[in-house]
Structure 1
């Protein structure tokens, strides 16, 4: 296991639409829409980047509108349902309490696509520290996704390594998106 992991400098942003907070990441991926779609919709592929060091691979997804979803993150198992779906273009998963995640894919070339990832919360959630922690988490997961898409495995790492890089990213997000405490 490694004591050090590092993440990209492809930062997300925080935006507000009324009472809804949006955490938005835009990534250019050097892979086809089909390859990225498989990585975000097939349970075994999702587990490779969403819970790379987790001993249990319990991610499940019923890929149809209203279908049940169970996402195994590194630290939690979270149930939801598919609230929007356009095969190869859009996947939106809603969770209890009004939060959701949304994946939008757009072909940009022969072997590339744009990914816009949005995580949104209603006003009941978004304390500044919570928002930055979620930003850091999704930043890491999206970097893991890129590693998997490139054909590499996520190296096993210690929780302390995640905590160290998360603290560094948290500080960078604070300096880029200062929010009152």
Structure 2
């Protein structure tokens, strides 16, 4: 017990409070959507792994959730560059989306479905079909009803659906968290 190191207590932090309130509002909205039948429980966004507030906690430097690993300070510049690139990508994605919105509006106001010629470029807007998803809850209900009316009620629909599910290949994910 000599190696035990106390950490905390958690003090007031406005950024952490604001983040917690935002998460609470999102969770409350998703609860209302779920109760109204607009989303399924599988569509509710939930925390995975470490909670997002960990990055902002003033005690994450010695928190027992982060076991002490290998020290490699030479990689600090690479992480800083990666963070800057991601920030730049976010800004670029926002700017691209804004420009695409403007050009879609221009095309719509031109009153044509043909190409709009700008000299060196041309553009047009088209409507693409929405993504098709399988509603597992509706399928489960339909299969249960079919099996029940066909006097095949002893077939476990959940087991049947589980046998038909496929899981994608595992992938590597890089998690980066600042140490406060």
Q: TM-score if structure 2 supplies the norm length?
A: 0.22
Task: Name which one, 1 or 2, has greater alpha-carbon Rg.
Answer: 2
* Larger RCO, structure (CA 8 Å, separation 6 or more): 1
